[in-house]
Amino acid sequence: MNTIAENHPFTINEQGHLDIGGADTVYLAKKYGTPLYVYDVSILRDNCRAFVQTFKELGASAQVAYASKAFSSTAMLQVVRQEGLSLDVVSQGELYTALQAEFPAEKIHMHGNNKSREELEMAIDHNVGCIVVDNFHEIELISSLLEKQNKEINVLMRVTPGIESKTHQYIMTGNEDSKFGFNLQNGQADRAFLELTKHEKIHFKGLHSHIGSQIFETDGFTLAADLLFKKLAEWNTDYGYIPEVLNLGGGFGIRYTKDDQPLAYAAYVKEMVSVVREQANHHNMPVPEIWIEPGRAIAGNAGITLYTVGSKKEIPGVRNYISVDGGMTDNLRPALYSARYEGVLANKASQPVKDKVSVAGKCCESGDMLIWDLPVPEVASEDILAVFSTGAYGYSMASHYNRLPNAGVVFVENGIDKLVVRRESFEDVVRNDLSYE
Ligand SMILES: *Cc1c(COP(=O)(O)O)cnc(C)c1O
């Protein structure tokens, strides 16, 4: 058994190949070509259910909204809809995709720190369930659109609670430096409160905060809930305001490498339900609905990327490189913020480790490296490399750098594979080009 594969929720089959959802990854690579994103749909469903069912077991009213920026496609949003989740979108493109997937509008929440008039108009036209208001400019835009269309809308107010997660710890930042949301401490949130609550067509449902990403502890959410409740209690005392919703955002951490030790998703939910009940009780207010927004935690570990190994370069005494047929175009995270990944040779998944190689992408950037110092069996050209936990922020951040066509996406469930995003053709790459002669 390959020890790296053991860190990830996949098995090795009788041929010694890596399996995903009951399908042989080497077969999938041959059938669909590489690079290729592959998702195990049963893991996607399990991830959704881990959040939803824990709220249910605790008897807490909640909405679990999948943050679709992590991975948005029609098929993905169909699965999320089937599992009964709500959905976060941050642009017209994400909203359009949600509508394509026949996502119920009342379960869609519109986010963004610079929503355009067109985006807000589309959201209001389609009667989305909620707009998460980020700034004063947006309140003005929404007001004028509601007047024009004679409509009403639910909103949450995004606030920066003055907590920042540094992955394994939290820092209190007195003067919150963030492009998102209203400052909770300096009077901004209070001004926004007055603007929102005086507006007849705006239903101000409560507060929203999102403290960061790839978080492995519950403390940050507890701290955020404390701070948000303090403000809500003030508004309760001063104006008799009763919040219906408290949205604590996303950011639940997943395993990319063996160094990541994620909590069970149920642990976050239990802590949130307990702190929200405690705080409501403490401030003599009704317990609001809890909303959360997992993105990575739904899509991340369910997806892998398959590549074909091409060239090798040995620098004696320094390092051995192998290059694959994708890279920063299909997974920007290593180049963007030195994100770390693990992988195995899918066609040699049961062979003992012999070598250590660094995996380079094929783009013309020295920073286009996918994995440094990966332990592998003896590597040869045409081997298939599987990189784990690429299900979130992989496809969604893909680019056409070097005019590489975007990779396709395959869903596997119970051994059955289905293409859900076509690989782009070269015609697709030049589709919007216009001639100048
Ligand atoms: C990005 C984002 C999320 C999801 O973050 P993950 O780390 O993928 O869980 C949730 N809410 C908001 C507001 C976000 O910006």
Does domain 3-40+301-429 fall under CATH 2.40.37.10? My reply is yes
Q: Is residue 333 marked as binding?
A: yes
**pLDDT value at residue 173:** 59
Nearest to 67 by CA among 254, 299, 314, 325: 299
pLDDT > 70 in the chain, percent? 97
Confidence of residue 163 (pLDDT cuts 50, 70, 90): confident
Residue 160: CB atoms within 10 A of its CB come to 23
Nearest to 268 by CA among 131, 396, 179, 165: 165
**Mean residue pLDDT across the chain:** 95
Residue 327 alpha carbon to ligand 1 centre in Å? 24
**pLDDT value at residue 180:** 86
Ligand 1 nearest-atom number relative to CA 294: 9
Confidence of residue 171 (pLDDT cuts 50, 70, 90): low
DSSP letters for 28-64: HHHHH-SSEEEEEHHHHHHHHHHHHHHHHHTT--EEE
Q: Is the pLDDT of residue 27 over 60?
A: yes
Q: Ligand 1 pocket: which of 135, 210, 214 to mutate (most atoms <8 Å of CB)?
A: 210
Q: How far apart are CA 118 and CA 142, in angstroms?
A: 11
Residue 250 alpha carbon to ligand 1 centre in Å? 5
Find out whether the peptide bond into 243 is cis, omega within 30 degrees of 0.
no
Q: How far apart are CA 129 and CA 87, in angstroms?
A: 10
Question: Is 111 touching ligand 1 by the criterion CB < 6 Å?
Answer: yes
Question: Is 297 touching ligand 1 by the criterion CB < 6 Å?
Answer: yes
- What is the C-alpha end-to-end distance of the chain, expressed in Å? 60
In sequence order, the β-bridge partners of residue 206 are 156, 245
**pLDDT value at residue 169:** 64
Alpha helices in 245-354 (DSSP H): 265-282, 296-299, 333-337
Q: What's the CATH architecture for 111-294?
A: Alpha-Beta Barrel (3.20)
Q: What number of CA atoms fall less than 13 Å from residue 135's CA on the CB side? A: 9
Question: Is 109 touching ligand 1 by the criterion CB < 6 Å?
Answer: no
Q: How far apart are CA 67 and CA 98, in angstroms?
A: 11
Residues 6 or more apart from 213 whose CB is under 8 A from it? 165, 250, 251, 253, 296
**pLDDT value at residue 162:** 82
What are the boundaries of each domain within the chain? 3-40+301-429, 111-294
Nearest CA to ligand 1 atom 3: 250
Q: Which amino acid is at 131?
A: I
For 240-280, write each residue's pLDDT tens digit: 999 999 999 999 999 999 999 999 999 999 999 999 999 99
Q: How far apart are CA 231 and CA 127, in angstroms?
A: 29
Structure letter (DSSP) for residue 423:
P
For 103-122, write each residue's pLDDT tens digit: 999 999 999 999 999 999 99
| Contact in structure between 8 and 38 (CB atoms under 8 Å) | no
Q: How far apart are CA 322 and CA 361, in angstroms?
A: 9
Mean pLDDT of 21-46: 98
Q: Is residue 436 marked as binding?
A: no
User: Catalytic residue numbers?
Assistant: 364
Would you state the torsion angle of the CA atoms of residues 205, 211, 216, 220, taken in this order, to the nearest 10 degrees? -80
Residue 293 alpha carbon to ligand 1 centre in Å? 6
**pLDDT value at residue 4:** 76
**pLDDT value at residue 166:** 66
Confidence of residue 3 (pLDDT cuts 50, 70, 90): low
Q: Which amino acid is at 85?
A: L
